[in-house]
Amino acid sequence: MILDSLDKEILREIQKNGRLQLSKLAEILNRPRTTVAARLSRLESDGVITSYRAVIDPVKLGFSLLAFVLISVRRSAPSGAKSAQVVLVEKILKDSDEDPRLPWIEEAFVITGHHDILLKVWAKDLKQLSYFLINYLPTHPDIAQTETMLVLELVSDWRNRLLPIDKALPD
């Protein structure tokens, strides 16, 4: 994928404000509206821009505790095209979305190293996180071990950082 300077300018601006009207974006970039519209459409169809959505602060909705949970999984054969780790994460995510006793899992990764899975977990309180760690996770026989790290202070996350467009693909 090749992004030229106009593509990068568009990405830089809409990353700051996804609700920016096309005419205003064209004005900021000092380019014809039709040119900006065509580029924006191409960036969307090429999958560079994947969606537009509101960014909501979990703390404002009552999720006061952030933790990272590392999970080690017992080795087992893949289930079809998916690894045992992916199948487990999908199950945990589904349960978390459906069970109000479980915290919200913002992000989930299959990783390398001593652990196999990393979960970014937002809990309403210590009781909810404890339930997840002590009562829920042990119900999964494939989980061999967990390690939990509580976040003491959120210094920065994706909500207040923009993707460095200039460090991305070259012109």
Q: Which of the four pLDDT bands, split at 50, 70 and 90, describes residue 161?
A: confident
Asked if 5-54 and 58-150 have one fold, the answer is no
Determine the Cα–Cα distance for residues 69 and 76; give it in Å rounded to an integer: 21
pLDDT average, residue stretch 32-39: 96
Q: Is residue 77 scored above 80 in pLDDT?
A: no
- Share the mean pLDDT of the chain: 93
pLDDT tens column, 95-105: 999 999 999 99
Determine the Cα–Cα distance for residues 132 and 137; give it in Å rounded to an integer: 6
Note the pLDDT of residue 170. Answer: 63
- Comparing C-alpha atoms, which of 142, 121, 106 is closest to residue 70? 121
CATH number among 3.40.50.1100, 3.30.70.920, 3.30.460.80, 3.40.50.300, domain 58-150? 3.30.70.920
Does domain 5-54 correspond to CATH entry 1.10.10.10?
Answer: yes
